[in-house]
Every structure is written in C-alpha cells, then in structure tokens.
Structure 1
Amino acid sequence: MGRGRIAEHGFLADGRSAVLVDRAGSVNWWCPARFDAPSVFARLLDDDAGHWVIRPEGRFSTERAYLTDTLVLRTVFSTPTGSVAVLDALALAPGARGHEVGLHSPRVLARVVRGLSGEVPLRVHYRPRFEYGRMVPQLVQQDEAVVASAASARLDLRATVPLECAVGEAFGSFAVRAGETRHFTLGYAPAYDAGPPTVLDAEQVIDNAVAGWRSWMGLHDYRGRYREQVRRSALVVQGMTYRPSGAVVAAPTMSLPEELGGERNYDYRYAWVRDFSFTLEALWRVTCTDELNLHVGWLTRSMGENEGIVPIMYGVEGERDLTEHHLDHLAGFAGSRPVLLGNDAWRQRQNDVHGEPLSAAWLMREHLDPMPPDICRLLRGMAERAARDWHLPDAGMWEARDAERHYVSSKVQCWTALDRAVRFGSRLGDEADLARWAVARDEVRRAVLTRGWSDRLGAFTAAFDTDELDASVLMMPLVGFLPADEPRMRSTIRMVEERLSHDGLLRRWAGDPAGFVICSFWMVSCLALAGERDRAGQLFERLAARVNDLGLFAEQIDPYSGEALGNFPQAFSHIGLINAAGDLTDLDAGSHELPPAPGRRIPAHQEGRPAGDH
C-alpha cells in the first residue's frame, strides 16, 4: 500500500498547506486547511485514502520541472500519439507579491492541461476521502461544480471537461490536441464557514503563482557557492512555512517510513525548536530581516512562560498538545505501520532546546538592538533552565523513546545557551545572572570534555561514559564548543566518517537504517572548518546530487539503493544544504563567523560587556 516511491513526488505550497503529486499525475497528499489538518487526499498512506489523477490513457513517459524560481510544477506526458503538459499549482492570494506571498490562501488547487503535439487521450479520476480516508463524501453536480461534502469540509471541483459522478468518486475522459487547453480547479472550504470555496480561473491561478513566487525569490539574491541549489532549497523551506504565524514545519507529511516496512513512522507536520536556529541561519543567508522577525515572533509567542519541561515542538499556531494517535485503518506507505497522527515527542525532556533560541538570537543580535522585552525574558528563561537542568538526563535530539541518557549533544547545547547568554551580557537586563551562568557554562564544558570523551574510541561519544558514536557530536565545532581542527575534534570527525558513513551519507548511529541528510551536510561543514575544503566541496556536490529530479530532499537516503526515506520534503535536509554552502562560501571569502573557541578572548564589541577568558 502507499503510492509509488517517496522521491517520485513533487511539492506544491501556498503558505498554509502542501500538495504532493507524483510523476503519473496523481495528487496523493493534501491537507487543505493547514499543514497538520486532516487530509482530503492521503494515497501516500493507503491506496483507498484519496487521490486525484489526470494522466494519459495507455503508455506514456514523463519529464517534469518547476517553472523557474517557482513552486509551479510542469509535467510533460509523451505518448505514441502526442504530448501534453500539465501545470499544477496551489493558488496564492491574487496580487500577492514579495513578503505577502502565502499570508492569505484561497485554498484552491489548479491544474491546467496544455496540448503540445498530436492528440492525446486522457482520463480523470477524482476520489476524495476526508479525515485521513475515514470518510467517503457525497458527490453531487451543483452550480457547474462537482461538490464533495462530508463532516466539516467541502470541496468544489470545476472542470472544462464533462465528469460523471459515482459513489464517492468522479470520472472523465477527454482528448487534447496541440494548442488546446483544459482547466481544473479544486477549492476547499470548511463546511460551516460563511460560504462555499473560492472560485478562481485556473490560468490566472498559474500566472499569479508564477509571479508571486518569482517576486519572493527576487528579494533573496544569494550570490555564494552553489547558488542554484541554495535558491531552490530556500524556496522549498519557504514553502514549508506557515505564513500566518512564521512556523516552519519539519515536513508537510506524516508517517513516511525511515525504513520501508519499519515502525519509525512519525508525524512531522509541526515546528521543532531544535530546527529553529538552523532554520534562521539558513534564512539569514538568503532572506531579509522582515521574515526573520516573523519566525522569531512565532517562537516567542509559542514558548511563552513555561512551567515544568519546556516543549520542544509546537503546532503551527503554537499548540502544545500534539498527542499521538494510531490510524489503524491505514495500511501505511509500503506497508509501514503504525501510521501515526500527532507526535508524542512533545512530552519529552530534550535539554538541547535551551540552546537553540539563544543561538538564533545571537546570530540575529544586530537586529535585536534594543532587545525586545518578550525576547529578553525568553532568553533569560532559557539560560536559567540550562544552568539548572544541564546535569539531567534527557531523550536527546534523536528523540529516543526508551530510557533517558546524558546525551553529549544536549549538554553541548546547554553550554551554547549559557555561552550566548553570557555574551549578551547586560543586554539581557538587570535580572540576568551572568556570573552564575558563566560558572555553569564552565561546569558543562568540563563535564563534556571528561565524560563525553572516550580514549578507547578516540572520539566524543553519543552519551556520557559510553563508547557509542553518534553524528550529533558534529555540532560541537558548528556552535563553537571546540574548533574543528582541535586534535580531539579532528579525531572525532575522522571516526564518525569512518564508522558511520557510506558513499558520503552519514548515519546518525550504528544501526541507523539510512543516511541522515542534515548530518551528512554537517560533515561538509566540519571538514571545511578543519581545513579540508577541497574534500568538503567534493562531499557537498555528491550530497547535492542526491536530490530527486525536482531538487527535493527527503529526511534520509538509503546509501545502497539511493531510495529516499522518511517524511518529504524535509526542511532540515534543505537547511543543511544551505548552511553547508554558506559555510564553504564564508571560508572562501575569509569571513566565516563562528563563536570564538573556548580559551580565546571574546572581542568586547561582540557582547554587552567584556567577558574575559572562558
């Protein structure tokens, strides 16, 4: 069960939701209300969970590409009798340009079929299924539309070809000659909203989406190394941004497996604080402060004041209760079960969460002067918690669901929180306990250097007092805990590469079923920072070539088969590409900014007051 291969899908977005459409013209995923809302098409997870196909009858071959600098997909179907192009786009608000792109969504999916040569017979099969395939809607012809309604949702399908309704589905057959077009629009509205779905012209939807996405790209003219790959990845990350709030979802999909037939199938349609600083660094390289402020505003509102464990993830509008449910009626992608809705990682203690807000704020410090009071309170709170809780075990950044442990990466991020808080100095206000934070920072550092290092292994390890390797320790030079060319760090990089890497893809730990894309890009940055820039560039290019034909990364890649695995597309993977390219660019220019390594004096102009030696 499940449809095709993960990497066969293209990605459409409108600032609130996403569509995945495969090479055979089948829309296999859409949750139109917002990224984490119930689906109307979920064929990704079960053949009976809803789809919408437009494709030629009989044999055909496929070529596809995004229109330049857009998320408008053009698929060319070639048949023995001719060829057609199908253009697919989620509608943007009419006239939305630049930073307005995605702020408002008409919630309309448009599909335009254009004849290119000869004559091509095609067919339409429309089979909506609401609530993750649980509900079969009634379909009726009404006001020139096929109206599907059930429970709390309504879909209106409008087409310039005749459609025949049956129970829960509609069919149509038509032919297109060179120069002819056929138009389809599918509009969504809540059933109890003020009115029916928005009616838009399909050609205008396509044209407006092209102009809108190009206007956004025109504001972000990255000129560094690997320009085209970076710009495409930036557009993908923007497509995964819930524009009303500024939240960036980890992926627009749920329960796509990390291993085919396996059980690690999680819902990623939420925003993780862990991803936050990496996301801001990526956007900082390609965007402007207006959008950075939007993202910081989302984090500040979502995190707010916390009692007890700090949530490590949120819904796109800041929701905290993301309780996990099993959807037992779904077969799962390639039979991979369970299919999970929600994500119980929201309950976990993950101590690295304290470091990300402070790391991101430090990156943006020039744009946070004067420091807004709400951000100041948030950063002080994170520093306080890091000082208080760094010695506690946690679930770690890979969200282990067994016993808590003293993960090295979590300790390092607590160090990061305290280090950046001390650097901010008096800018965090009179309540900032800088002296105590500095003492705690140095305690964390000593603990990591002693209990996190294995003489037998010759590397920093996954957790205190073990000999287990973990790719998360590659973050240490990226946050400035140790220079990449420091002997222990260099040895760690070598051991991680030797034991966890295959064909350039880096697993998170021994036994991880596939290469984790962002870890692989961390290796690029580490090699470059250690002085191996040529090898780093070669590795970057090998990794960048692992995208699908549309430039999209999944979360993981099988290093032997090349199969894309995990939720798709994955923001973390594209963020890794952007940041690695930026690191290589900065190093070429001699302008790479990393926090000074411990033991080196921090320039006084970089913080609120002189800091002294670490």
Structure 2
Amino acid sequence: MPDVPISDYGFLSDCRSAALVSRGGSVDWWCPDRFDGPSVFGRLLDRDAGYWSLRPKEGTDPDGEDPDEEDPDGERARTERGYLEDALVLRTVHHTGTGSVAVVEALAVEPGARGHEIGRHSPAVLVRVVKGLTGTVRMRLDFVPRPEYGLLTPYLHSHPDRVVAAAGPTTLTLRAPVPLTCEPGRVHAEFDVTAGQVLGFDVAYSPAYGTGPPAELDPVAAVADTAEGWRAIRETHRYQGRYPELVRHSALVLQGLTYQRSGAVVAAATTSLPEQIATDRNYDYRYAWLRDFSFTMNALWVGACPEETSRLFGWAARSAGRIGVGPVPIMYGVEGERDLSEHDMDNLRGYADSRPVRTGNDAWRQRQLDVLGEVLAAAYRLREQMHEFDEELRELLVGLTEQAAATWRETDAGMWEARDEERHYLSSKVMCWVALDRAVQLAPLLGERADPQRWAAVRDEIRLAVLHSAWNDETGAYTGAFGSPELDASALILPLVHFLPATDPRMRATIHAIETRLTVDGLVRRWSGDPAGFVLCTFWLVECLALAGEYDRAVALFERTAAHANDVGLFAEQLAPATGEHLGNTPQALSHIGLINAAWRLTESAPAGR
C-alpha cells in the first residue's frame, strides 16, 4: 500500500483525543484515551497497525487507498469533502457510476455539551453516518483494530448488532446496522445504500478494566449534537479583521487540539510524521509546549476569546510548579506530566519508511531560554482580560523573570530544539529581553517580589549584547546565533516582539536576506539546510513585510501561503518547495497560529481605505 499523502487527512477531535481520516474513507489514526495515548488505529505509521475503512466498494482494495479509481462502467469515481460549518464534523461525498453517498463522521461529544464544555466528559466514541444521495451504492466496511500502536491483535466477540474487540487494556465495540463478518483480527461487511437511506455506525472505546461499559449513542443524533456543540464556540469568536473565515477555521483547529480537562494545547495530533521523507527527523508532537501555549494565547487574544485565558494560565502555573534554580521545563504531558522520555517503536516501519517512530520527546530535557519571554509576553498581552493575577500566576511570572535575569548569558538548545551542541541563540537572548521588558511593565501586578529597577537594568544589558553580537557584517544580517554567519528565520521575531522596528535599516536588511536566501517558492526555511518551508516562519515573514510597509507583498505572500492548506483547511508543520507537499506532524498548532496572527497583522497594518 502506498502511503497516503499527509495532506489527504482530515482531523476529528473531541478535545480528549484526535482521529485522522483519509479522503478514501479510512480512519488511520486514533488514540482514544487521550492525544498522547497509544493508538488503536495506526495505519498512518504502518500498514499493519490498524484502521477502520468505510467507503464505496468500487475500485476498493480492502487494504488500499484508491479514492479516484475508475468504476466498473468506465467512469471516474470522485470524492469531495468539507467540514460542516463551524464544526469539526467531516462530510465526504463519494460519487460512483451507480450513485452518490455521503459519509458524515465525528468524534462524538458528550450529549448536550456546548462550546468549551466539549471534552470534559468525552464518551470516546467515533461515529460515522452513511447517507444515500442518488442511485444505489455498494459499500464496504473493514474494521481492523490493533491496540498499543499495532502490538496487539484483539480477540473478536460477535453479537447480533456489534463486535467487541478486546486486547490488553483496551476494549473497542463496533456497532453496525448491517451484518458483520468476523475473521481472525478483522471484521468486514458489504451492503447497499440507496437514495434517502441513512445508516449509523460507531466504535466506542473503553478501558478493559474500567468502571462501566462503553458509551452507547445513536450515531445520527450524535453527529447532529456534535455539530451543534462545536458551533457554540463561534459565539465566543468576535474577530473583526481580514480573512475571517480562515481565522475562524484555524481557531477551531486550535480548539480541537486542546485537551479540555486541563486546558493544555498539543503541538499536533500525531507523532513521527517526517520533516523529511526517509530520514530520522521524526518527533512526537502530542504534548504541550510552553512556547506553543504562549503563541496560542496570542491567537486567542486575536480571536477575542478571553474566557479561555485564565484557565490556560492556570494549566501553565500548575504544570511548571514553583520555579527554582534549575532550567524551566519547556514542555509537558497533557495533564502536566514532566517526564516525557523518548522511546523508539521498532514494530512500526514509519510513514514512508521514515524511522524511527517515536513516542515521547526528549526535548523535555533541554534548556530553551526563549520560553521565559514567551510566557511573560502572553501575560502582558492578556493582562486586561485577566484583570488580576492570582498567587500561583504571580509566582510563575516572577520565577520566569528571575530565571531570565540569571541565565540569559548561558547557551541553550534554541527554539528549533537542536540536538547537537548548545549555542548563544539570538532568539533566546531576545526572548529573555522580552521576559524582563514585560515584567517591568507588569510589576504593579506581580506583588512584593517584583523588582522592576533591577529587571530594567538587566533588560538594557541584554539589548546592548544583542545589537553588538548578533549582527554579522559578512552576512549583512542578524544571524541565528552570536558569532555565527548562518541566517535563521527566527530573527524575524525581532519586530514581532518590539525589539526592533521592521523599518530599522539592519532589520530591513535581515528581512531581505531571509526573503532572498532562505525562501524557496515563497516558503521560508528555518535555516539554509532545512529541506522544506516552515509554515509558521512564512507567516512571520508576512507580518514583517506588513510592518515594513510592504503591504501588497505581504498580502500576496499570505494568500499564497494560505492556499497551501489542504482541501479541508488544515496545515502540517512544513511544506515542500515546488510541490507544496505537506510534511511533518498534522494538524500543526503553530501553522494555524501563524495564519491567525498574520491575518490580524494585515488587518491592523492596512493602509487607510484598504
């Protein structure tokens, strides 16, 4: 089976877990207990790691993906899809030579849950409703569960209206209104759907040794209720700027990447989708980074969602705990877990033979000084929405500020989480400056431990060091690290955090150098050896061009970049030059955050009358 393009996947969420479903109708990824839990469908990373396919039989190989095969009458089958308006409910229409059928699918929310209540008590049920549109379509169902990342083949227990798959700690219950045939390790069915007919299917997860049976839902009612639950979120999004539909959709994706029980926002829904095919640049992004948290808070500010800010800061304060003398942890599990030690899953071949497949992420051990400033920047941006800071938040912000003052001269791994030697990264120094600058301005809200006079002195010292040591005459730009001639797209943050205006001559030269030397086919790479464009960095360039007064060029770059989203508006982490192929984990929070912030920047930077 050839690997399905990463851009072929749609995203479903119940704010507890995520599922990815291909254009061909196969759920190839689902970790039902929580985002960073073991998968039960893992064909995304290995053809033998499980899936649930529901699609027209025409041209179907039960183990394949052929959404546009020719049908028996010689006509080309077509597939089109989209989300229901303002909802993470996916509708896929299959047109065949004998008729058309729609499959509407979602991770069900708790009955009656609305808006930000989604995910607090998720039933852990994947629902799929088949609706006949025209003619008669022969459908095929294949259910091949493989819990624990494909390590387990379950026992199958057949009942009149369901099949129960049990293995290890996991129980999956497939319910269907059609006869099901069991074979060792798999279930299949074939059935006809005629115009006007509606059939509901679902798979419910439950722990093998849980306290109760799996949830039982009416799939048709669950789809409708889930759509209404998601639509309630739009009432809290009051964005009034440019590209409102794109911003609203990206905000919805961010909500879908939120683990509602704690408020943590995961970086992506997947692990080990490669940054470069057939290499080892494969990482687990199903965790919550303080950096991403800060960027998310800014996106929520743009989207005017103040009710989420206090809870998200509460998650950050609880996860970090009391800040001591050691490095501040830069990432956590979705419930605040600290130890995220990395493991290689040797049983999985990886997407497009890109090994290793990793669970856990050893970046949790790194020192990344930029996160200090990112959290302070978010607090400063959202100070009016929060009104006052409770004791835990004050302790967090003061602790981070003191860390910045004490450690800014040290080397670190940088925001790109380099796994070689530490360096004096420009972005880390600048964000330490941000930490102290924002803390000085927040001092009246930070209690008795605030020391704005000392903080201001250290802030000014950092600024002088950056201006002196980060500029490279040979390169003619601010470079990625002190003493290095290598360009790095992270330098684009300087105008965005108000360290330097985009119109400053040296900053203009840096923007121009990044645009001409790191940009390929309109996509900004992080450094010269980066094989693909990084979506977030490309949106940073949009913001910098707008701030530099090059508004029309900024708009053109924004629209060209936004057009690289897949057919249901999702971005992975990176885009391949020339082809626009999606690479890296998906959907990627930072990519959607970049879109939101760039749209807002174009709004506030627009010339009069535009």
TM-score (norm 1): 0.95
Q: Which residue of 2 is the match for residue 398 of structure 1?
A: 416
Q: Which residue of 2 is the match for residue 600 of structure 1?
A: none
Answer whether contact 1:2 1:43 (CA < 8 A) is retained: no
1:137-536 matches, within 5 Å, as: 137-142=154-159, 144-307=161-324, 308-536=326-554
Shift of 1:284: 1.2
1:50-129 matches, within 5 Å, as: 50-58=50-58, 59=71, 60-129=77-146
1:557 is matched with which residue: 575, 578, 587? 575
Q: Which residue of 1 is the match for residue 67 of structure 2?
A: none
Report the AA paired with residue 320 of structure 1. Answer: R
Answer whether contact 1:485 1:530 (CA < 8 A) is retained: yes
Which has the larger displacement, 294-303 or 574-583?
294-303
Q: Which residue of 2 is the match for residue 45 of structure 1?
A: 45
Shift of 1:449: 0.6
Shift of 1:473: 0.7
Shift of 1:143: 6.5
- Deviation digits for residues 467-512 of structure 1 (CA, Å, limit 9, x no counterpart): 1000001001101110111111011000010000012110000010
2:598 is matched with which residue: 558, 580, 583? 580
Answer whether contact 2:296 2:593 (CA < 8 A) is retained: yes
Structure 2 distance, partners of 1:351, 1:362, is: 18
1:539 is matched with which residue: 553, 557, 564? 557
Structure 1 distance, partners of 2:212, 2:7, is: 37
Shift of 1:298: 0.8
Shift of 1:365: 1.0
Answer whether contact 2:472 2:485 (CA < 8 A) is retained: yes
Shift of 1:286: 1.3
Shift of 1:589: 7.9
Report the AA paired with residue 162 of structure 1. Answer: P
Is 1:21 the counterpart of 2:42? The answer is: no
Structure 1 distance, partners of 2:118, 2:213, is: 23
Structure 1 distance, partners of 2:387, 2:233, is: 27
Shift of 1:394: 0.4
- Deviation digits for residues 54-94 of structure 1 (CA, Å, limit 9, x no counterpart): 11112332111111111110101111111100001110111
Matched residues, number: 590
Answer whether contact 1:2 1:331 (CA < 8 A) is retained: no
Structure 1 distance, partners of 2:41, 2:511, is: 43
Structure 1 distance, partners of 2:116, 2:353, is: 41
Shift of 1:285: 1.5
Can you give the 5+ residue segments of structure 1 that lack an aligned partner in the other structure?
591-614
Structure 1 distance, partners of 2:520, 2:566, is: 19
Report the AA paired with residue 40 of structure 2. Answer: V
Answer whether contact 1:2 1:47 (CA < 8 A) is retained: no
Answer whether contact 1:123 1:174 (CA < 8 A) is retained: yes
Answer whether contact 2:443 2:451 (CA < 8 A) is retained: no
Structure 1 distance, partners of 2:381, 2:161, is: 53
Answer whether contact 1:15 1:104 (CA < 8 A) is retained: no
Which has the larger displacement, 130-139 or 432-441?
432-441
Q: Which residue of 1 is the match for residue 65 of structure 2?
A: none
- Deviation digits for residues 7-35 of structure 1 (CA, Å, limit 9, x no counterpart): 00000000101110001100000000000
SS of residue in 1 equivalent to 2:377: helix
Structure 1 distance, partners of 2:221, 2:388, is: 44
Answer whether contact 2:288 2:331 (CA < 8 A) is retained: yes
- Deviation digits for residues 428-462 of structure 1 (CA, Å, limit 9, x no counterpart): 12211222211111111111111100112110000
SS of residue in 1 equivalent to 2:224: helix
Which has the larger displacement, 581-590 or 332-341?
581-590
- Deviation digits for residues 104-132 of structure 1 (CA, Å, limit 9, x no counterpart): 21110000111111111111110000000
Answer whether contact 1:2 1:333 (CA < 8 A) is retained: no
Report the AA paired with residue 138 of structure 1. Answer: Y
SS of residue in 1 equivalent to 2:340: coil
Answer whether contact 1:86 1:111 (CA < 8 A) is retained: yes
Structure 2 distance, partners of 1:173, 1:369, is: 59
Structure 1 distance, partners of 2:159, 2:212, is: 14
Report the AA paired with residue 22 of structure 2. Answer: D
Structure 2 distance, partners of 1:400, 1:219, is: 38
Structure 2 distance, partners of 1:2, 1:481, is: 48
Structure 2 distance, partners of 1:156, 1:306, is: 45
Q: Which residue of 1 is the match for residue 11 of structure 2?
A: 11
Report the AA paired with residue 331 of structure 2. Answer: M
Structure 2 distance, partners of 1:276, 1:57, is: 44
RMSD: 1.2
Can you give the 5+ residue segments of structure 2 that lack an aligned partner in the other structure?
59-70, 72-76
Answer whether contact 1:21 1:27 (CA < 8 A) is retained: yes
Which aligned segments of 4 or more residues in structure 1 are displaced greater than 4 angstroms? none
Which has the larger displacement, 140-149 or 291-300?
140-149
Answer whether contact 2:297 2:309 (CA < 8 A) is retained: yes
Answer whether contact 2:300 2:306 (CA < 8 A) is retained: no
Answer whether contact 1:2 1:332 (CA < 8 A) is retained: no
Answer whether contact 2:291 2:374 (CA < 8 A) is retained: yes
Report the AA paired with residue 502 of structure 1. Answer: V
Identity %: 59
Structure 2 distance, partners of 1:454, 1:540, is: 29
Answer whether contact 2:310 2:386 (CA < 8 A) is retained: no
Structure 1 distance, partners of 2:140, 2:266, is: 34
Q: Structure 1 residues 355 and 162, CA, compared in 2 at 3 Å: closer, same or farther? A: same
Structure 2 distance, partners of 1:188, 1:516, is: 36
Shift of 1:297: 1.2
Structure 1 distance, partners of 2:378, 2:145, is: 41
Answer whether contact 2:443 2:452 (CA < 8 A) is retained: yes
Answer whether contact 1:2 1:44 (CA < 8 A) is retained: no
Shift of 1:142: 3.6
Answer whether contact 1:114 1:180 (CA < 8 A) is retained: yes
TM-score (norm 2): 0.95
